[in-house]
Amino acid sequence: MVKTVFLGIDLGGTNTKVALVDQEGTILERSIIPTRAMRKAEEVVKDIASEAIKLRKRFEERGFKVQAAGIGIPGLIDWEKGICLLLPNFPNKWRNVPIREWLEKELSLPVAVINDVRAITLAEKRFGAGKDVQSLVMVAIGTGIGGGVVLDGDLYIGKDGGAGEFGHITVEPNGVRCGCGNRGCLEAYSSGPAMVAQALRALVQQNDTLIRDMVGDDLSRVNPKVVAEAAQKGDRVATEIIERAGFYIGQALSCICLVVNPEMIVIGGGVAQAGELLFKSIEQGLRERLFMVPVDTIQFVPAQLGMDAGAVGTATWAKERLEKGVIG
């Protein structure tokens, strides 16, 4: 009996994950390759396709059938046309790259394109933390802050695929400039780089902090993990950085909850590994700002699928788009 599987591709600025995923969301095999994002987009896509073809060949020789591929993009996309509009964290920005067309040509498969955090949201809904609820909001905190929304059991992506750009909710009118061009965005206060910037400012101002002991004179070693570890050891400066970040996330979530009224809020991303202190700060910020929706009825949980969520989500997106006749 032929078993149907799907390719899931999670494009990252440093590495790209290519995986074969079955219909139950299980990764059968994965491969991680360096993205080398300094290169032209065409070269990166060809490398991804080459790795995907190797995986496909090995599994089709064993009686599997690869039906379609999905790719998660860490930036702005035209999801209907399969075009990457902008990758702000890539050196050459990938403006107007027809990534679906290129991959379909290389793979001879239908390809579905989705924002990377929307893919994670879909994976958590189908197979992770949100599988038993009909509505949820996902927030992923890392180099940036992204998100996703599930309504009535399905991923909601909006007219242009932008539903979930929570990192660009204004939390401080006339605040610091964000990379998007606006001022006061959540991402400018609560993302990993924002936390690092606050830690570096404290060091330059000669504040007494364990962070200095942990990195010595090498300020390049300051990262969100160091800040989190210092906070867990009781460092006042690090604790204040995480509490501030969490409060702003809670403030943004209060606005989202007024619109969506979700059953569940899922928190993920690398910075979420800061743990209980961050979660408590987010919940406190939410409680202090949300009055018209009962906070106690909202489940507040960490993401479950970890680093596999992107590949699982993109493969699942391809499966569902194929079933609906949108691709293929």
CATH 3.30.420.40 domain range(s) in the chain? 3-115+307-323, 129-303
Q: How deeply is 206 buried, as exposed, middle or buried, from its count of CB atoms within 10 A (0-12, 13-18, 19+)?
A: exposed
Q: Which residues touch 105 (CB under 8 Å, ≥6 apart)? A: none
Q: Is 268 left (phi over 0), alpha (psi -120 to 50) or beta?
A: beta
Q: pLDDT digits over 146-183, tens only?
A: 999 999 999 999 988 889 999 999 999 999 999 888 99
Q: How deeply is 232 buried, as exposed, middle or buried, from its count of CB atoms within 10 A (0-12, 13-18, 19+)?
A: middle
Give the type of residue at 33.
I
Position of tokens 């032209």?
40
User: What per-residue confidence (pLDDT) applies to 147?
Assistant: 96
User: What per-residue confidence (pLDDT) applies to 160?
Assistant: 83
pTM: 0.94
User: What per-residue confidence (pLDDT) applies to 273?
Assistant: 82
Which CATH superfamily does the domain covering 129-303 fall into?
A: ATPase, nucleotide binding domain (3.30.420.40)
User: What per-residue confidence (pLDDT) applies to 50?
Assistant: 97
Distance of CA 196 to the CA centre of its chain: 19
The span from the CA of 32 to the CA of 69, in Å, is 16
The span from the CA of 134 to the CA of 78, in Å, is 26
Q: pLDDT digits over 9-50, tens only?
A: 999 988 999 999 999 999 999 999 999 999 999 999 999 999
Q: Is 153 left (phi over 0), alpha (psi -120 to 50) or beta?
A: left
Q: What is the CATH number of domain 3-115+307-323?
A: 3.30.420.40
User: What per-residue confidence (pLDDT) applies to 327?
Assistant: 93
Q: Which helix (H) or strand (E) holds 140?
A: strand 136-141
C-alpha to C-alpha distances, 109 to 7, 29, 69, 158, nearest whole angstrom: 10, 19, 7, 26
- Give pLDDT < 70 ranges for the chain: none
